[in-house]
Amino acid sequence: MKPMYQPTREQVAGLLQHTYHWVRAASEVTPAASWAAPALTVAVQLYDAEQYRPALGQLSAVVSMLHQTREAYPALPPL
Partner 1 sequence: MTTPMTTQVPGIQGMQQQGYIPGFPPPLGLEQNAGFGQPFGGQQSGGQQFGGQQFGGQPFGGQQMQPQMYGQLPSYGQTQGSGQAQGFGQAQGSPQVQQAVQAVVSQLLPIAYQVILPQVVAITTHQVQQHLQQLVGWQLTGGQQQSGAGGFRPWGF
For residue 48, with 0-12 CB atoms within 10 Å meaning exposed, 13-18 middle and 19 or more buried, which class applies? exposed
Instruction: Find the binder of partner 1 among 11, 47, 48, 74 (CB under 8 A).
Output: 11
Minimum gap (Å) between residue 50 Cβ and partner 1: 14
For residue 42, with 0-12 CB atoms within 10 Å meaning exposed, 13-18 middle and 19 or more buried, which class applies? middle
Site string for partner 1, 16-55 (x = CB under 8 A): -xxx-xx--xx-x---x--xx-xx--x---x------xx-
Q: How distant is the alpha carbon of residue 44 from its chain centre?
A: 9
Rounded CA-CA distance 15/77 in Å is 16
Task: List interacting residues with partner 1 (CB under 8 A).
Answer: 2, 4-5, 7-11, 13-15, 17-19, 21-22, 25-26, 28, 32, 35-36, 38-39, 42, 46, 53-54, 56-72, 77-79
